Amino acid sequence: MGFEKSRNGPCSDREKLPKLGPSNVNSSALTGNGENAELTPMTFVSDLFAIALGGSIGAVVRYVIALAVVSAPLSGWLTLHGCVGTTLANLLGCFALGGLFQFSQALVASEWGATGWAASLAHPRMLLAVRIGFLGSLTTFSTLIGETAVFASQGRILASSLLLGINVIAGWCLFWAAAAVVRNWTS
């Protein structure tokens, strides 16, 4: 009997396991707003549409940044296999996310965000559109890793390491710099 219990494991009772799907997904992990909002199939589709809309705008902005870097004076020096455009997009995204992070924190902590335009910016669907859609599409970790791999495969380990370090360290610093600017603005 003890063998039977250990073979089935502690989760053998299927009735106790939660059913996964859009009807019980907690969106607070994605929006960071701390609400325990339950999604219905319609709100799930609306959330997906908001993410898709934000993502399409972020992708276009990223493409425009890449075109601007390529067409800039000294573009041959600036492009370096496209890494300057990728780095610029990543750093702008980190700065924007830091500002949005602090702005949403300020809205939660104060009463002035309860109504008006600020409340619409803090709406969970808007946060999904901006954080996951727009900023997720604007910034690109996979392209950064691909560009560092190209440098490494060419034996340019220093360039590869510098590219990765600049994106991570400068991105971290810009995130907190934007948060500090917004903190000063909202206090």
2 annotated ligand binder: no
End-to-end CA distance of the chain: 64
Cβ 85 vs Cβ 66: under 8 Å: yes
Q: Where are the alpha helices (DSSP H) in 32-139?
A: 41-71, 75-79, 83-109, 116-121, 124-127, 136-138
Place of tokens 């710099």: 177
133 annotated ligand binder: no
For the four alpha carbons of 78, 82, 87 and 90, in that order, the dihedral sign comes to positive
Going by the annotation, the residues of the binding site are 136, 139
Annotated binding site for Na(+): 136, 139
